[in-house]
Amino acid sequence: MINNEHTIVKVGIADLNIVSAPDCIRTTGLGSCVGVVLYNQPKQIAGMAHIMLPNSKLAKQTNLNLYKYADTAIDILVDQLCRKGLRKSSLQAKLAGGAQMFQFSSNNDMMRIGQRNIEAVLQKLAEHHIPVIASDVGGNFGRTIEFDPATANLRIKTITKGEEII
Amino acid sequence: MKYEQLSLIQLDALREIGNIGAGNAATSMSKLIQKKVDMEVPNINIVAFDEVMEMVGGAENLVVGILFEIHGKAPGIVYLLFSLEEAELLVKQMTNDNSMTLYNGEEPNSIAFSALQEAGNILAGSYLSALSDFTNINMQPSIPHLSIDMAGAILTVGLLPISEFTDYAIIINTKMNDVQGEHNGVNGQFLLLPSPESFTKIFQALGIQDDK
């Protein structure tokens, strides 16, 4: 019997994972967090990180969760994809998220974290010379994203703005 | 402070805080909708961020969330959460208008939204004033911040201040139930997320700072 069922690999908050076709990879309920997908379409392999904070150097934590921060998670994702036999120069990126869910009056930096996450991710991708092929970022709404390494489509679901594929 | 090392008495104290706060809020809610409102015994959850989302039905689940920043000596964040149906029912009962909906087609209904925020004000206000009285720590709610969206997106905001320190959140979770409508009543859920530094202050105020 041929098993043509594909699995959907889940990525939690401050988490990352890697899939190859026919499996898909998804993360749910992105608000200010940014979902970053790095992929190589000919090889049909992709990795996704659900990034919560921009900079690990600002952490006040002793046991750092390296998957939580833009600067560390993207390094790890690149490294893991390279271990799968991909060359860094063959990777491309898509990203979504980085919303600001609430308009706070206090100018607490934590409260515009979405924008800071996006900037940190873009900066890190630029350091690795990984081109951003498509993105859907900002706004004030949540997103669930699912990436299919076979087609390199990133499907973005929202509650109020419907669904789109980038 | 290590989250994993809370003593039983400290956990009890947090449960009691949830109890007192939600008890007071349930009374306010009862006045607001003119029905009897019950509350469940609070849960103290020490959970990973993903589990926080599971507590409200998963990260993708649609929730009506009203967020308040807590200002004062023990900062933190408190959420009042409803399902869409519950929020709509609450607004109907508050306005005495059965045709009231949260959305007119796609557009948010500003009267309903404003009623919901006002309900949030009243409930969070009574929740926090009870906490404040019990601990003798000054706690003031901010203005209400309302969002109707995926639970993950809404709750992450409250986890951000904690996430700089740890990957676990201590959540004091209390449910209120409208007694008459078991099936489709106005049930609400309070989630209290004190900032890491607030726990020490709360425990000191209650005289249980020692880990015994």
Q: How far apart are CA A103 and CA A83, in angstroms?
A: 42
Instruction: Please tell me the total count of domains within chain A.
Output: 1
Q: Which domain holds residue A102?
A: 8-165
**In this structure, is residue A32 part of a structural domain?**
yes
Residue B1 has pLDDT above 60, yes or no: no
**In this structure, is residue A2 part of a structural domain?**
no
**In this structure, is residue A3 part of a structural domain?**
no
- CATH number, residue A140: 3.30.1330.200
Q: How far apart are CA B28 and CA A5, in angstroms?
A: 52
Q: What is the mean pLDDT of residues A128-144?
A: 94
Quick one: pLDDT at residue B212? 46
| Helix pair angle (B8-33, B196-205), 10° resolution | 90
Task: Assess contact for B139 and B71: CB atoms under 8 A.
Answer: yes
ipTM: 0.87
Closest residue in B to A60 (Cα–Cα): B165
Chain A residues touching chain B at CB-CB below 8 Å: 12-15, 28-33, 52-53, 58-61, 65, 68, 99, 101-106, 110-111, 113, 140-144, 157, 159-160
Helices of type H across A17-161: 70-83, 113-127
> 10 Å Cβ neighbour count for B3?
16
Query: B107-137 burial, b for 16+ CB within 10 Å, e for fewer?
Result: eebeebbebbeebbbbbbbbbbbbbbebbeb
Inter-chain residue contact B160 with A30, CB threshold 8 Å? no
Supply φ then ψ for residue B116, to 5 degrees.
-65, -40
Between vectors from CA B107 to CA B102 and to CA B110, what angle results, nearest 5°?
55
Question: DSSP string spanning A1-27?
Answer: -------EEE--TTEEEEEETT-EEEE
Q: What is the mean pLDDT of residues B14-22?
A: 84
Strands A132-137 and A92-97: parallel
Please list, in sequence order, all residues whose beta carbon lies within 8 angstroms of the beta carbon of residue B131, skipping any fewer than 6 positions away. Answer: B17, B20, B21, B137, B139, B192
Q: CB distance from B58 to chain A under 8 Å?
A: yes
Tens of pLDDT, residues A149-158: 999 999 999 9
**In this structure, is residue A25 part of a structural domain?**
yes
**In this structure, is residue A1 part of a structural domain?**
no
**In this structure, is residue A36 part of a structural domain?**
yes
* Partner residue facing B165 (CB), from A61, A142, A157: A61
Q: Which residues of B touch A29 (CB under 8 A)?
A: 53, 58-60, 150-153, 156
Tens of pLDDT, residues B80-137: 998 888 888 888 888 888 888 888 888 888 999 999 999 899 888 888 898 888 888 9
**In this structure, is residue A17 part of a structural domain?**
yes
Identify the structural domains of chain B with CATH numbers, from first to last: 3-205 (3.40.1550.10)
Test mutation, A50, A62, A65, A101, chain B, max B CBs within 10 A:
A101
**In this structure, is residue A22 part of a structural domain?**
yes
What six digits make up the tokens of B114?
């404003």
